[in-house]
């Protein structure tokens, strides 16, 4: 089992280039199941979650050629309709194969998913969307079994009772091959949804309204060859901005999309961070201690739950008392005991966290509990006195490409090791 060790207290300096978006690449990889034409995909990040999705879609019939971060995906024939437990349990996004398989083949058998232990995150909205398109849904031995009638899926109106990114993605992919028109109401607005729709449109899909709450899709029969570049990762961008802020460092972060992180930048300005926007980069200026903050996580374009742990770490060393309300997942404060172990002063009451600022982190051995929790411990370790050893970093490798290398090139004293060596 690997760990990361950081000797804290180093100022950072230099440039960081962002990787492709994990949350965008995963559904786009799944959508390769829809088409028998080649999909040339670039800027795919090298992550454990991506490897898990690649293994899954290969088992279903996708032929894959790879060079660096570029892929050629082609699915001449679906070889299996079953996404089995051993592949799906590693990553919740595997459930995104449901819509494409059902739409193309009329049948899918998908294991109920696994992933980070940050809440129940049920799949009921995914199944609701498939039913609205005419699928019959059954359950057997931990699997969802979805079937369409002989004529295939049929377009319909899908009114989501609450916003769900994954259910929106599954509904879009299924509707692309459904007969007639589908209208999705209360769709998720995330940039990753827009990127998926842009890729599908380049494949020949007829989609209107991506990035709004109403998405209209006209079903098609034939796909085109396509080239598509995955957007850069907005969560990674914000994580490195926080790394600069927490270490009082100057950093240039490249290949950034300002529109995708507008709410986050507003909050950083409110806390007192100074930065400059330069073409497709952001320059974080060396600054002083920031002010406290009060936020509530919300669906995009609100403050993302995927940045809650990182901002909490920054709040620990900011002036005054900060308040964070987690409104998306019910179990996403598992990083709090580990941050407190490093010297933080955080109290949790239900889905609210009260962070007493002006703390001083002191290095210790800690354990990552999920993807974003793991990077919050990296951030704390960067400024901790002494050495911090972070265990179970496979969580980190699910969502951050070469984060230890990127930080070390900017001056962080960070290294990987293996237990038993």
CATH number of the domain to which 49 belongs? 3.65.10.10
Are 385 and 237 part of one and the same domain?
yes
Are 111 and 184 part of one and the same domain?
yes
Structure-block tokens of residue 97: 């194969």
Query: Of residues 117 and 302, which shows the higher confidence score?
Result: 302
Are 157 and 73 part of one and the same domain?
yes
- End of a domain among 211, 229, 247? 229
Structure-block tokens of residue 168: 């929106």
Are 242 and 374 part of one and the same domain?
yes
Are 258 and 223 part of one and the same domain?
no
Instruction: Please tell me the predicted confidence (pLDDT) of residue 192.
Output: 98
Are 38 and 56 part of one and the same domain?
yes
Compute the distance between CA of residue 216 and CA of residue 202 in angstroms, rounded to an integer. Answer: 16
What backbone phi and psi angles, to 5 degrees, belong to 14? 130, -155
Count, residues in the chain: 421
Number of domains in the chain: 2
Q: Is the pLDDT of residue 329 over 80?
A: no
Mean of all residue pLDDT scores within the chain: 94
Q: Is the pLDDT of residue 121 over 80?
A: no
Are 8 and 36 part of one and the same domain?
no
> Which range marks the domain in which residue 58 is found?
22-229
Q: What percent of the chain has a predicted confidence (pLDDT) above 70? A: 98
Q: Is the pLDDT of residue 76 over 50?
A: yes
Are 250 and 203 part of one and the same domain?
no
Compute the distance between CA of residue 154 and CA of residue 130 in angstroms, rounded to an integer. Answer: 10
Are 69 and 104 part of one and the same domain?
yes
Q: What is the average per-residue pLDDT within 2-28?
A: 97
- End of a domain among 202, 229, 256? 229
Structure-block tokens of residue 184: 């999705």
Q: Is the pLDDT of residue 117 over 60?
A: no
Are 220 and 236 part of one and the same domain?
no
Q: Is the pLDDT of residue 421 over 90?
A: no
Instruction: Please tell me the predicted confidence (pLDDT) of residue 114.
Output: 53
Instruction: Please tell me the predicted confidence (pLDDT) of residue 39.
Output: 98
Are 212 and 236 part of one and the same domain?
no
| Euclidean distance between the first and the last CA atom of the chain, given in angstroms as a whole number | 10
Catalytic residue from among 31, 116, 238, 359: 116
Q: Is 116 a catalytic residue?
A: yes
Res. 150 pLDDT band, cuts 50 70 90: confident
Q: What is the average per-residue pLDDT within 362-366?
A: 97
- End of a domain among 195, 229, 263? 229
Are 245 and 195 part of one and the same domain?
no
Model's pTM, two decimal places?
Answer: 0.96
Count of beta carbons in the 10 Å neighbourhood of residue 411: 16
Compute the distance between CA of residue 394 and CA of residue 392 in angstroms, rounded to an integer. Answer: 5
């Amino acid at each position: 089992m690997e760990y990361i060790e950081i000797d804290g207290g180093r100022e950072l300096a230099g440039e960081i280039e962002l990787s492709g978006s994990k949350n965008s690449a995963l559904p786009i990889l799944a959508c390769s199941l829809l088409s028998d034409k080649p999909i040339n995909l670039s800027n795919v990040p090298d992550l454990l979650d991506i490897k898990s999705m690649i293994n899954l879609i290969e088992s279903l019939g996708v032929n894959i050629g790879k060079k660096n971060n570029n892929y050629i995906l082609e699915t001449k024939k679906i070889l299996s309709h079953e996404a089995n437990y051993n592949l799906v349990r590693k990553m919740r996004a595997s459930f995104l194969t449901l819509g494409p398989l059902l739409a193309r083949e009329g049948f899918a058998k998908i294991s109920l998913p696994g992933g980070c232990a940050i809440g129940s995150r049920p799949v009921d909205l995914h199944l609701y969307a498939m039913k609205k398109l005419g699928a019959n849904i059954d359950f057997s031995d931990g699997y969802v079994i979805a079937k369409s009638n002989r004529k295939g899926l049929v377009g319909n109106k899908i009114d989501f009772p609450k916003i769900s990114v994954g259910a929106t993605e599954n509904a879009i992919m299924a509707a692309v091959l459904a007969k007639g028109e589908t209208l999705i109401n209360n769709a998720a607005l995330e940039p990753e949804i827009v990127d998926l729709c842009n890729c599908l449109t380049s494949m020949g899909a007829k989609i209107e309204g991506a990035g709004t709450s109403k998405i209209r899709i006209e079903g098609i029969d034939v796909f085109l060859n396509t080239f598509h570049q995955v957007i850069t990762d907005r969560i990674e961008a914000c994580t490195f901005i926080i790394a600069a802020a927490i270490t009082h460092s100057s950093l240039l972060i490249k290949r950034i999309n300002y529109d995708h992180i507008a709410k986050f930048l507003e909050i950083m300005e409110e806390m007192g961070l100074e930065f400059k926007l330069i073409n497709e980069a952001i320059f974080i200026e060396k600054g002083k201690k920031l002010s406290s903050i009060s936020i509530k996580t919300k669906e995009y374009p609100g403050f993302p739950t995927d940045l809650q742990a990182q901002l909490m770490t920054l709040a620990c060393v900011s002036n005054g008392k900060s308040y964070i309300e987690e409104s998306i997942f019910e179990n996403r404060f598992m990083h709090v005991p580990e941050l407190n172990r490093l010297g933080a002063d955080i109290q949790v009451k239900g889905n609210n966290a009260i962070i007493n600022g002006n703390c001083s982190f002191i290095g210790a051995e800690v354990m990552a509990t999920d993807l974003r929790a793991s990077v919050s411990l990296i951030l704390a370790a960067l400024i901790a006195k002494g050495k911090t050893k972070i265990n179970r970093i496979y969580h980190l490798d699910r969502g951050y490409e070469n984060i230890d290398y990127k930080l070390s090139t900017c001056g962080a004293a960070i290294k990987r090791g293996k237990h038993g060596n």
